[in-house]
Structure formats: structure tokens, C-alpha cells
A and B are shown apart, each in its own frame.
Chain A
């Protein structure tokens, strides 16, 4: 079996066991529903407040803002389900010096530490995101064609991969920084900046959220696909950033592992 197929197999086992384990905790389910509802309500209220005073925010209409919110919640849900539990586990293990066993499995190390756990109930956010998008879609339906939908799907996949890569790179830094709690708050904060279309931000901030920590572009561009704002330039940028993020994160990870195991670079 190829190495990748083997790693994929292991990933599926991880996910199945993780889901199985968490499904038992109905309190977590209830909590998640409350959490998601509260976050959604806050997001909606913020948008409602803005549109109580204007009809366009930086040119974006209300349903268009909801599109951004929907993508934000959906991708956030995917992040919390598949990525974040693993990242925080790893950072914890680095702090405790418990790292070695994670790195000596006969599986690709990056895949192993990235897929060990699942935050199963965060899938509620994915559902919420889809609902919000569906609702915004109702208002935008006539401006969207099948090509837009396709580009949107592609954009979502790219967005998800970018988010994973950003977090992966950040987690790799804990090899050296050990204590990364503070930086984690920054990344989470930056992700929240993506609740609004980055086009309203000053250029320097847009640039930062596209090229340095591409959290913003990961959310805005898919939203643009659904709101008939997508320029070929933006799509290409997204694709380039996706490929670059994945490659950079992987290279950085391998460098980190090598360095950690004492192999000379």
C-alpha cells in the first residue's frame, strides 16, 4: 500500500474513533448548540446594527454580508472539527515534552498529528454555516449561475486548505517557541476579522490578510464567488495562496521535525 493510502486509512480510523467517543457526550452537544446559536446571534446582530444605518457597507449589501458570515461560520466549523483539536493537542505535547511517541509512528508525521482527534460536535457550526448561506442564497439566487457555484465550491476547498495550513504552520512554531498560547489568540482574533469582507479594510490590512496570514482571503474570496464579485485575479490569487500555503506549511513542518530530532539541516 502506498504511504499516502496508509496514512489515509489511519486518518479514517482516527476520525471514526473520535466521532464515536464524542457522540456519547450529549452535554457537549447541547453546549455546542448554545455556543453556535449565541455566536450566530451576535454575528447577525452586528450586521443588523450596521444596516440599520446604511444600505451598503463598502459597497456590500446585507445579503452579501450574510454570505461572508456564512462562509466564516462554515469554515470555522470545519476548522474546529478537524483541525483545532489536533493543533492544540500537539502544542500541549510540546510543552509537556511528550512529543516523541507522536513522531515515531509508521505514518506520515504531519498527517498523524493533524488527524488524531475530532471535535465532532463542531459540525453543528458547519450546518449553521450552510443554513446561513442558504438563507443569503435566497436573496442572491438570480445573480448566481452554476459556474459561480462551482467556483464557490472550489473557493471553499481552497479556503479550508489555507486555514489548515496557517494553523499547521503556527503549530510547527511551537517546536521552538514552546509556549504559544498568546499567539493562538492572535490567530483566532485574525480569523474573526474575516467576518467582514476584507475589501473594506485598508490596503495594508488586506495585504496582510492575503499574503502574510491568508485568513481573510480564505473567507472573502469564496463569498465573492457567491456574490458575483469574483474577479479572475482574486480567484487566481486564492489558488496561488492555497498551493503556496500547503507547500510552505509542509516544508516548515518537515524542517521542524528534522530539527527536533537533532538531525542536521
Chain B
């Protein structure tokens, strides 16, 4: 019995058209025109219990919209979804107790009061038993290392600390289904790692089904074996993470800066950016070590760094604008 079944899910928004200039403003006073924005187009996939799946895509791809439809916050324009046997749009109390949506950068705890007080409120709202509450609270507090934060008002916490306690609060009812929307957005590296390991532990211990969106590859590589890629509202890819790297011909970027002026480096790899003393090269994953070694040996290198390109670049570069045929061909069901 799958945890999450999504079939032909579609969401279209009607957006008013607004143009510049006084005359146009007056015109729209009398005659308002709209255009349709398809945020999610005919999305279908299935999640089995215990799966931890990454939901990747650039900004505005439709990830958050999909999650909101699966949590009951948005009513789909077409298609339907089933989450642990419930229709999210019905918003039944049992459904809401068993499904958690955590949105990065969103604050749902009481701002002025100590974290512990908000946790007590959650206990009442989710009807968590005393024993369960105490044990989970203790366990999660330790796992997230937020022991000394519980007595502080939420407003006094840093962004990362707030995120940690939000996650703690959201998981107190031990929901079997967890949707995470950009949970590490804006956090520093150590905080990101901490949150990722907590989510991984939770998934392992509770056997929860987790759908996690991000536009950081690192979130996904740490937690997910399976990945769904969404672009402009449509599903582009659904399969193993390893396959994703191969299929999208993962490139890495090497940023090299030298003392003095930089000679022609086009021989080392594709140059995406260049100034007098610095260049950014796109290099196939397998060749990175070799190219880096050559650069270090042959140039007067001041600084060299190797990074993953952001997911937007990967997707955009592989499916150059207008090349929707190739995009369709690459879609894996």
C-alpha cells in the first residue's frame, strides 16, 4: 500500500496582467485581463512507505506548489492525490495529525515565548500522550542539540536555531509522512549537516515517508536514493540519484585565480566566466582531478576551488531553452 499516490496533479493560477504607464492603469480599471500560469502540470508519481525522495528543481518549478497540494493547503485544479489513504483536500483531522509540512524560513512557533511553551501547545493540539511527548522531546532535543535553546524565546534564536526547533516541533507527533520544503535554505554548512543527519535518523527510526524539496544538490545526495526532477511544473526525471548524475552529465566548476594575469585557459575546459586574473571552468566530473592537477602544475595558482554547479544551471544547460523535444525525450517514468 503506497504512502503517496499522485495522478495527473495540476495547478493553474489566474494572474492579473499589469502593464506600465498611466493610461494602461486606467484601462485596467475598467477592463481587467488575466493570464493562466500553470504552476504544476500533470504530475504523477508514487511513494512507498519508508522512501526518502528528493524533489529537485529550480526556483519557481512547482515544488512548493506540489507539496502544498499534498498537505491540503492548496486545492488542485485537476488530477488527484492520496496520502496515507486520505485525500489531502478533505483536510481530515487524522490526516493533519499524520502529515507534517516543514517549510524553510517559515516560523510557526510562538514568537515571544520560550520554545518549550510552544512545544506544550503542540502537545495539546496533536493530542500527544504524556509518555510519548516526554520521550520524543528528549530524544529529538538531544539529536538536534537544542537543549539550551528550549527556554529561550523564539525571537532570540538565530535562523539555524529556529529551523532546528521548528523541525523538532513538527516531528513531535511522529508523523509517518513528512514533507520538507527547502529545509536548509539560508543556513550555514554545519547547520545544514546537522539537519540532514537528523532527518536521516528520523527516517531510519520511524520508517517515515519523506519528500524533500531543495535546490541544493547536497541536501539530496545526503538523504535520498531516489530523485524526482521538476521543471516549469512538469516532471522531468524520476529515478535513482546515481542515474541523475549520469543522465545530466554532471559537470563540476573549477574556479582558478592566479597571480599576475591569466593566460588562455580554454584548453583546460569550457570557460564560463573570465576576468584578468580569474576564470571559472566547467569540467566533466571524471576529469576534475586531472584538470586541477594540471592547473596547479602549469599556472601560478593563487587559489583554486572545485564546486557543484547549482541545480538550475545543470538543468538549464542540459535542456537549453527551446529544446523541449530533448527535455521530453529525457523524461523517465
Residues of A within 8 A of B (CB): 16, 19-21, 23-26, 29
Chain A residues whose CB sits within 8 angstroms of the CB of B21 once the complex forms? 20
Q: Please tell me if B22 contacts chain A, counting CB pairs below 8 Å.
A: yes
The answer to whether A24 and B22 have CB atoms under 8 Å apart is: no
Contact A20 B25 (CB under 8 A): yes
Complex: chain B residue closest to A19, CB-CB: B22
Residues in B whose Cβ lies below 8 Å from that of A24:
18, 25-26, 28-29
Number of B interface residues, CB 8 Å? 8
Which of A19, A21, A24, A29 lies at the interface centre, i.e. has the most chain B CB atoms within 10 A of its CB? A24
Q: In the complex, what residues of A have CB within 8 A of residue B18's CB?
A: 24
Q: Find chain B residues with CB under 8 A from A19 CB.
A: 22
Q: How far is the CB of A249 from chain B (nearest CB, A)?
A: 31
Query: Please, which residues of chain A bring their CB within 8 A of the CB of B28?
Result: 24
A-B contact number at CB 8 A: 19
Nearest-neighbor residue (CB-CB) of A29 within chain B? B29
Provide a sorted-by-A list of 11 A–B residue pairs whose CB atoms are within 8 angstroms.
A19-B22, A20-B25, A21-B25, A23-B26, A23-B29, A24-B18, A24-B26, A24-B28, A26-B29, A26-B30, A29-B29
B residues near A26, Cβ cutoff 8 Å: 29-30
Q: How far is the CA of A56 from the CA of B243 in the complex (A)?
A: 88
Q: Which residues of B contact A21 (CB under 8 A)?
A: 25
What separation, in Å, do the CA atoms of A19 and B30 have in the docked complex? 16
Q: How far is the CA of A29 from the CA of B26 in the complex (A)?
A: 12
B22: A residues at CB distance < 8 A: 16, 19-20, 23
Write the B210-245 contact mask toward A (1 if CB under 8 angstroms, else 0): 000000000000000000000000000000000000
Across-interface contacts of B29 in A (CB, < 8 A): 23-26, 29
Instruction: Find the B residue at minimum CB distance from A26.
Output: B29
C-alpha spacing A47/B127, complex, angstroms: 54
Bound-state CA distance A25–B29 (Å) is: 6
| CB-CB nearest in chain A for B21 | A20
Complex interface bits, B1-23 against A, C-beta within 8 A gives 1, otherwise 0: 00000000000000000100110
A25: B residues at CB distance < 8 A: 29
Q: Nearest residue in A to B29 (C-beta to C-beta)?
A: A26
The minimal Cβ–Cβ distance linking A175 to chain B, given in whole angstroms, is: 19
Complex Cα–Cα for A21 and B26 (A): 9
B35 CB to closest chain A CB (Å) equals 16
Please name all residues of chain B whose beta carbon is closer than 8 Å to the beta carbon of A23 when the two chains form the complex: 22, 25-26, 29
- B residues near A29, Cβ cutoff 8 Å: 29
| Additional pairs, 4, CB under 8 Å, beyond known A16-B22, A23-B29, A29-B29 | A19-B22, A20-B21, A21-B25, A26-B29
